[in-house]
Structure 1
Amino acid sequence: MANFRKKNGTAETVEMTFIDHLDALRMHIIRSVLVIFITSIVIFIYRNWVFDNIITGPINPNFITYRALYKISHWLGMGDGLTLPPVQVNMQTTSFGGQFLGSITLAFTMGAIVSAPYVFWELWRFIKPALTPKELKNTRFAIFWVSFFFFLGAAFGFFLLGPYTFNFLANFKLGTLSMLETRPTLTDYLENLTNIILGCGLAFELPVVTFVLTRIGLLTPMFMRRSRRYAIVILLTIAAFITPSPDWMSMMIVFVPLMSLYELSILVAAKVYKDEQKKEKEEWG
């Protein structure tokens, strides 16, 4: 493991030992956990508003996605062709402390998501001393892009994939005797919603991961083009894993953006690879 360089007060650089690395990492983790904890407390204080206006959004008939699909469908002259049937479910808790524990889960999950940019920043601060001035210059906007793609994916999961997924699961019927009723628990709903949001948020980091791997020489645009057919299979698998429902529509809603991000990642890799080749030529004359 390479030693990180750290500047001291006399502008000199000193080598950090393995113990120094662990101590620095520990402080970054402590600060990240502290910010998540404080954010979670704030969300817990306003838990009723968060639950009513955000958490239940994908199963609320008045959610912006349902209203937008209704307007688009009628604007295109398709009637209710693009609209989704209302999600008619009532959640339940099966224990006395169910709602209290659910509110704690809600608070810490939302706290972690909202605090993501700060956590990324702390991780960046830990890695930063090991980078050269040129590498620092090339990664000036790293935190912005990591946060941007994470929240883009999270928004995609919340506003688009979530409504389609819960709509399918809530309206799916087994048998014709109407003897079964869908009544999910609060924990079940929160777990599915969290998996959708975090899964999409992490999956949308593909261009950022591609940039890093290409920059350090582990990935090339030529390899990505040759591996496109394998990427399709992998992305379909990821889409199936992210979506809790087995319907092909929900899976395709995830797969199409992921495939688009893969194509964007090829362009990113090509740009980075071209820049690296140009730098090597300049260095070797």
Structure 2
Amino acid sequence: MPLTEHLRELRSRLIKSILAFLVGTGVAFYFASYIFEVLKEPVRKSYPQVQLVTLSPTEPLFILLKISIVFGFILSLPVILYQLWRFVEPALYPNEKRLVLPLTFFSILLFLLGGAFSYFLALPMALKFLLGIGLSQLQATPFLSVNLYISFLLKMIVGFGIAFELPVVIFLLQRSGLVTEKQLKSFRKYFVVLAFVAGALIAPDVTTQVLMAVPLILLYEISLLAGKLGRRRQKETAIEVVQG
């Protein structure tokens, strides 16, 4: 296919992806107030005394837009991934094409699991620890900026969602031959440190660091096991092909 055809195809896929994102953002904006009520639950459960307040006239609108953009992207992600798949499909080998659907499924599933883990477990515990320690020491009135709270919450949810993609990343690295099982095993002790550093980047409290680091370490070990099983399956398939 000529370069101009590739560029035309890329332009078409980008336009469709952008339109899907705009539609998703519009739908999310329509339900933004309901989504906001759901997002308030972690602080309600962990520290009911806290009152969420706005600090400027424009803050409520910016909060709704922020919620709409994040959840609009999540809603449009299947369409965006489909457009990406259609663009790269002609360049893939048959064995690579067979991996796309399961990898996409597990990527979305792991992201949702990470977000759910953050929302239902990590966030309530982190908020209870941070607000409890801070307010008890300062004897301050428990008011919290809505904008700062939503930013913190979305950062936690998206951060955990991305972190839970680790098995897919390791699988692709092993599949492409960029890393080996021996290298991953030797890197294990460094990864433990990196897992706690990643937790500190999302929220600087010990509770959140542990809640993020422990699942990451477990996912790392699961990734090593999955890679080992995958290579064994590849060898068995290769033997069957040779014998057949």
Say whether the fold is shared (TM-score over 0.5).
yes
Q: Contact (CA 8 Å) 1:150, 1:202: kept in 2 or not? A: yes
Corresponding residue of 2:175: 215
Corresponding residue of 2:61: 100
| 1:141 is aligned to 2:125 | no
- Structure 1 spans left out of the alignment, 5+ residues: 1-14, 62-84
Alignment equivalent of 1:272, drawn from 211, 223, 230:
230
Q: Which has the larger radius of gyration?
A: 1
| 1:57 is aligned to 2:18 | no
Counterpart-to-counterpart distance in 2, 1:267 and 1:25: 37
Secondary structure of the residue that 1:115 maps to in structure 2?
helix
Per the TM alignment, residue 238 of structure 1 is displaced from its structure 2 partner at its CA by: 1.2
Counterpart-to-counterpart distance in 2, 1:232 and 1:271: 23
Q: Aligned in 2, Cα 1:121/1:150: closer, same or farther, shift over 3 Å?
A: farther
Per the TM alignment, residue 113 of structure 1 is displaced from its structure 2 partner at its CA by: 2.4
Q: Contact (CA 8 Å) 1:87, 1:170: kept in 2 or not? A: no
Q: Contact (CA 8 Å) 1:40, 1:108: kept in 2 or not? A: yes
Counterpart-to-counterpart distance in 2, 1:184 and 1:239: 23
Alignment equivalent of 1:189, drawn from 146, 149, 174:
149
Per the TM alignment, residue 152 of structure 1 is displaced from its structure 2 partner at its CA by: 0.9
Counterpart-to-counterpart distance in 1, 2:60 and 2:54: 7
Q: Contact (CA 8 Å) 2:129, 2:207: kept in 1 or not? A: no
Alignment equivalent of 1:121, drawn from 70, 82, 89:
82
Per the TM alignment, residue 47 of structure 1 is displaced from its structure 2 partner at its CA by: 2.4
| 1:252 is aligned to 2:207 | no
Counterpart-to-counterpart distance in 1, 2:114 and 2:241: 39
Corresponding residue of 1:34: 19
Secondary structure of the residue that 2:82 maps to in structure 1?
helix
Per the TM alignment, residue 284 of structure 1 is displaced from its structure 2 partner at its CA by: 8.3
Alignment equivalent of 1:46, drawn from 12, 27, 31:
31
> Which residue identity is paired with 1:198?
V
Counterpart-to-counterpart distance in 1, 2:10 and 2:78: 17
Higher relative contact order (CA 8 A, sep 6+): 2
Provide the TM-score with structure 2 as the length reference. 0.88
- Structure 2 spans left out of the alignment, 5+ residues: none
Per the TM alignment, residue 271 of structure 1 is displaced from its structure 2 partner at its CA by: 2.4
Higher helix share: 2
Per the TM alignment, residue 276 of structure 1 is displaced from its structure 2 partner at its CA by: 4.3
How many residue pairs align between the two structures?
A: 243
Q: Contact (CA 8 Å) 1:87, 1:171: kept in 2 or not? A: no
Q: Aligned in 2, Cα 1:93/1:174: closer, same or farther, shift over 3 Å?
A: closer
CA RMSD of aligned residues (A): 2.4
